Chains A and B, each alone.
Chain A
Amino acid sequence: MTRRLPPFPRWRRPTVPPSRAAPIGAFVAALIVLVLPVPVALRAIAALVVGLLVGDAVGRAIVPTRMGVGGRLALSLSIALALPVAVALVLTVSPFGIGRPQLIAAAALVGVLASAVMVRRGTPIGPTFTPLRAPRRLARPAILYLAAVLLVGVAFALRLSATAPGEGLYSSLSISPGSAGDGQVAVEVINHERTTVLYRLELELDGRLIGSTMSALPDGGHWDYRPDTAVAAGQRVEVRLFRSPDLTKLYRDVNATVGVDW
Chain B
Amino acid sequence: MGHAPSSCARAARRHKRERIVVPPKRPLLGAAPILACVAAVGLLLVGVADDQATVSGWHPNALFWAGILLIFLPHAQRLMMRDVRQGEALALVFTLALALYLVKVLHSPLAFSLHDEFLHWRTTDDIIQTSRLFADNPLLPTSARYPALESATAALVEMGGISIFHAGLIVVAAARIGFIIVLYSTLSVASRSHRVGAIGAVVYMTNPNFLFFNAAFKYETIAFTFAAACVFLALRWSRTRDERIAHGLWVAAILAAGATAVSHHLTAVALTALLGGWSGVVEAMHRRGRARDHRAPWSISLLSALTTFGWIIVAAPVAIAYLAPVIGGAVGQGLALVAGFLGAGRTGSGQRELFGGNQPGGAPPWERMSAFAGVGLVFLASVAGGALILRRRLPDPLLAVLLIGIPAYPATLLLRLTPRGWETANRSSEFFFAALAIPIAIVIAALLLTAIGIRARQLLVGALIGIMFIGGVVAGWSIQDRLPGPYLCCSAPRGVNQESVAAAYWARHNLPPLSRMGADPLNHLLIGSYGRQTAMTTLSGGIDPNWVIFARTFDADARATLADGDVQYLLVDRRVATAADAFDEYLGDWSVATAIAKFDDPRTNRIYDSGSIRIYDVSRIWRGR
Q: Spell out A's residues near B (CB within 8 Å).
A: 34, 40, 43-48, 50-51, 59, 62-65, 67-71, 73-75, 77-82, 84-89, 92, 97-100, 103-104, 107, 137-138, 140-141, 144-145, 147-152, 154-156, 158-168, 170-176, 190, 192, 236, 252-257
10 contacts between A and B (CB under 8 A): A63-B233, A63-B248, A81-B148, A85-B151, A85-B259, A148-B37, A148-B40, A151-B44, A155-B44, A163-B54
**A82 contacts B255, C-beta separation under 8 Å:** yes
Closest chain-B Cβ to A254's Cβ sits at a distance in Å of 5
Closest chain-A Cβ to B119's Cβ sits at a distance in Å of 18
- Any chain A CB within 8 A of the CB of B620? yes
**B171 contacts A170, C-beta separation under 8 Å:** no
Closest 10 A/B residue pairs (Cβ): A97-B131, A155-B47, A151-B40, A144-B33, A77-B178, A44-B160, A47-B160, A168-B498, A172-B610, A84-B155
A136 to B554, CA, bound (A): 77
Q: Which residues in A have their C-beta under 8 angstroms from that of B184?
A: 70
Name the residue on A nearest B32 (C-beta). Answer: A141
Given A98-B158, A144-B33, A160-B110: A172 and B28 interface contact (C-beta under 8 Å): no
A170 to B575, CA, bound (A): 14
**B609 contacts A172, C-beta separation under 8 Å:** yes
Q: Which residues in B have their C-beta under 8 angstroms from that of A45?
A: 160
A-B contact number at CB 8 A: 277
Name the residue on B nearest A154 (C-beta). Answer: B44
Across the interface, A103 reaches (CB within 8 A) one of B132, B155, B255, namely: B155
Across the interface, B131 reaches (CB within 8 A) one of A74, A98, A167, namely: A98
- Any chain A CB within 8 A of the CB of B249? yes
**A74 contacts B232, C-beta separation under 8 Å:** yes
Name the residue on B nearest A251 (C-beta). Answer: B611
Across the interface, A145 reaches (CB within 8 A) one of B36, B131, B263, B610, namely: B36
Across the interface, B28 reaches (CB within 8 A) one of A85, A137, A156, namely: A137
Closest chain-B Cβ to A81's Cβ sits at a distance in Å of 5
Given A141-B27, A141-B33: A85 and B262 interface contact (C-beta under 8 Å): yes
A81 to B479, CA, bound (A): 33
Q: Spell out B's residues near A (CB within 8 Å).
A: 25, 27-29, 32-34, 36-37, 39-41, 43-44, 46-48, 50-51, 54-55, 86-87, 90, 102, 106, 109-110, 127, 130-134, 147-148, 151-152, 154-156, 158-162, 166, 170-171, 174-175, 177-178, 181-182, 184-185, 188, 222, 225-226, 229, 232-233, 236, 240, 242, 244-245, 248-249, 251-252, 255-256, 259, 262-263, 484-487, 497-499, 502-503, 506, 510-511, 602, 605-612, 615, 617, 620
Q: Which residues in A have their C-beta under 8 angstroms from that of B51?
A: 158-159, 161-162
Contacts A73-B181, A104-B159, A252-B610 given; 9 further ones with Cβ under 8 A? Answer: A74-B178, A82-B255, A97-B132, A150-B40, A152-B43, A154-B47, A162-B54, A174-B608, A192-B498
Closest chain-B Cβ to A147's Cβ sits at a distance in Å of 5
Name the residue on B nearest A175 (C-beta). Answer: B607
**A81 contacts B175, C-beta separation under 8 Å:** yes
**A141 contacts B506, C-beta separation under 8 Å:** no
Q: Which residues in A have their C-beta under 8 angstroms from that of B606?
A: 253-256
Across the interface, B154 reaches (CB within 8 A) one of A65, A74, A88, A148, namely: A88
Closest chain-A Cβ to B481's Cβ sits at a distance in Å of 15
**A190 contacts B502, C-beta separation under 8 Å:** yes
A70 to B92, CA, bound (A): 12
Given A141-B32, A144-B33, A170-B499: A88 and B161 interface contact (C-beta under 8 Å): no
Across the interface, A74 reaches (CB within 8 A) one of B48, B132, B182, namely: B182
Name the residue on B nearest A84 (C-beta). Answer: B155
Q: Which residues in B have their C-beta under 8 angstroms from that of A176?
A: 510-511, 607
Closest chain-A Cβ to B85's Cβ sits at a distance in Å of 11
Q: Which residues in A have their C-beta under 8 angstroms from that of B27?
A: 137, 140-141
Across the interface, A172 reaches (CB within 8 A) one of B151, B188, B259, B502, namely: B502
A238 to B525, CA, bound (A): 30
**B182 contacts A155, C-beta separation under 8 Å:** no
Given A65-B248, A172-B608, A253-B606: A162 and B50 interface contact (C-beta under 8 Å): yes
Across the interface, B612 reaches (CB within 8 A) one of A59, A104, A170, A253, namely: A170
Residue of B160, B166, B497 ringed by the most chain A CB atoms within 10 A: B160
Residue of B39, B244, B606 ringed by the most chain A CB atoms within 10 A: B606
Given A59-B252, A162-B55: A70 and B152 interface contact (C-beta under 8 Å): no
Given A97-B131, A151-B44, A256-B607: A64 and B262 interface contact (C-beta under 8 Å): no
Q: Which residues in A have their C-beta under 8 angstroms from that of B185?
A: 68, 70-71, 74
Across the interface, B506 reaches (CB within 8 A) one of A65, A162, A172, A255, namely: A172
Across the interface, A167 reaches (CB within 8 A) one of B152, B229, B498, namely: B498
A155 to B67, CA, bound (A): 11
Name the residue on B nearest A82 (C-beta). Answer: B259
Q: Which residues in A have their C-beta under 8 angstroms from that of B620?
A: 257
A237 to B304, CA, bound (A): 61
A65 to B244, CA, bound (A): 9
**B608 contacts A167, C-beta separation under 8 Å:** no
Q: Which residues in B have their C-beta under 8 angstroms from that of A78?
A: 178, 182, 225-226, 229, 256, 259
Closest chain-A Cβ to B161's Cβ sits at a distance in Å of 5
**B159 contacts A103, C-beta separation under 8 Å:** yes
Closest chain-A Cβ to B117's Cβ sits at a distance in Å of 18
Given A145-B33, A174-B607, A256-B605: A100 and B262 interface contact (C-beta under 8 Å): no
Given A43-B160, A81-B152, A154-B44: A147 and B37 interface contact (C-beta under 8 Å): yes
Residue of B87, B499, B602 ringed by the most chain A CB atoms within 10 A: B499
A231 to B37, CA, bound (A): 66
A79 to B605, CA, bound (A): 52
